[in-house]
Amino acid sequence: MPPMTIRHTAATTPRSTPAARTGALFLFAGAPVLGAAAPLAITIAVTRGLGATGWASLALALAIGNASTTVAELGWGVVGPQQVARHPDSRHDLYRSALASKLVALIVIAPLAAVLAFLLAPVDPVGAAVVGAGGAMASLSPAWFFVGAGRPGLTLVCDTLPRLVLSLGAAWLIAGGASLAFYGTALVTSSVVAWILASVIAGLPLVPRARDFTRAPETLRRQAVVVSGRAVSIVYTALPSVALGALAPGAVALYAAVDRPLRMGVVVLGAIPARLQAYLGVVDRRLAQHRARNALLINAGMGVAAALVFGAGMPAVWGVLFADSVPMDAALIALGSLLVAVMCASRGFGIVLVAFDASNDITRAILAAAAVALALVPALSLAAGATGAVVAVIVAEVTALAVQGLCVRRRWRATAPAR
């Protein structure tokens, strides 16, 4: 059978000039770069204003909040961008459905995040609770929609800049010794502002229809495999901080000192696979495989470069970020560099599986990694503190990478176009 023709959309049609394409890439990169400035400012403010224990409370609350976001966004960040790119005529219906299902999920998830952060925080439990709930609210971000629509500038204006401004204000207050609750309030407020601006500036629906809410359970069932996989991924993203908090509280600050900057960097690097989401959203099978190969190579190369930058850069900025609150550990930084490389390569395989309509395979990889993490994280955290936790996460991420690689190979052969 001859390959199907490509259906070009605003998200998939190449820009008219190289300069325009370069500008679009800078916009895709600009949002996460500016977005990373906010947590960096908060990190510096907390370590100076509240010390190592304040930093440990913030790190635990952020780990819980980020894990909650992973669940509450219900897989839209994984499958949504390519759906937006492929179905331009039904984009607003897609957005309403996503917004309604997320709001329903947050009714349960945000309070749970707040309670868990309150119970685990070594100091300022109320502030940590607000940060945990605020982290969960980030699931309302419209960034996934703008990625699929090929409109990175809207992510910058509607989502990134409000969060940056509010977070910088909170950082200024916390540096003077104020509660973490100010940062949590900034997170909640910025999520609501992004929701409103997406309607006012981008013309997206402000409030879902009643039938969108009644269909929320159906949406959850339809994306149950992706959602369950995302939920299970919490085992090897949030579990290390929580396990250390319970088993080796003194190691939380050191672990977070490597883990938080590492994950901020991965968020910034997410601009590349985010741009590739729309790039991969094509119908022609031969073109799809060609682009998938490019995506894998780009992400692998990015991982190697990121590992080198992290390994060389962290010792230089450690004193700026943590002052004398957390002593530097060179071996832990080296392990973090390896983890960055594996995570970038794994993300490449993930977006390719979505392009092959095989997002369920991502869940299989996550389940395998979670099983490894459940076995290793508590044991190694208890035995070797922060170093053991990072080693456990590396083994879990390598497991996910291997499973995804095998799944891509199988799907590649199954979807190969007829010659």
Going residue by residue through the chain, which has 419 residues, state the pLDDT in tens, using 9 for 90 and above. Answer: 333 332 333 333 444 455 555 555 555 556 666 777 788 888 889 988 888 888 889 988 998 998 899 888 888 877 778 788 777 778 888 899 989 999 999 999 999 999 999 998 888 999 999 999 999 999 999 988 888 887 878 888 888 899 999 999 999 999 888 899 999 999 999 999 999 999 999 888 888 888 888 888 887 887 777 777 777 777 667 778 878 877 777 788 899 889 888 988 887 788 788 778 767 766 667 787 888 889 999 999 999 999 999 999 999 888 888 877 888 899 999 999 999 999 999 999 988 888 887 878 888 898 899 899 888 989 998 888 889 999 999 999 999 999 999 999 888 877 665 55
d(CA 371, CA 376): 9
Contact by Cβ (8 Å): 280, 295: yes
Contact by Cβ (8 Å): 36, 232: no
Half-sphere exposure of 307 (CA within 13 A, CB side): 19
> The pTM is what?
0.74
d(CA 131, CA 106): 14
Tell me the backbone φ, ψ of residue 49, rounded to 5 degrees.
-90, -30
Three-class HEC string of 300-367:
HHHHHHHHHHHHHHHHHHHHHHHCCCCCCCHHHHHHHHHHHHHHHHHHHHHHHHHHCCCHHHHHHHHH
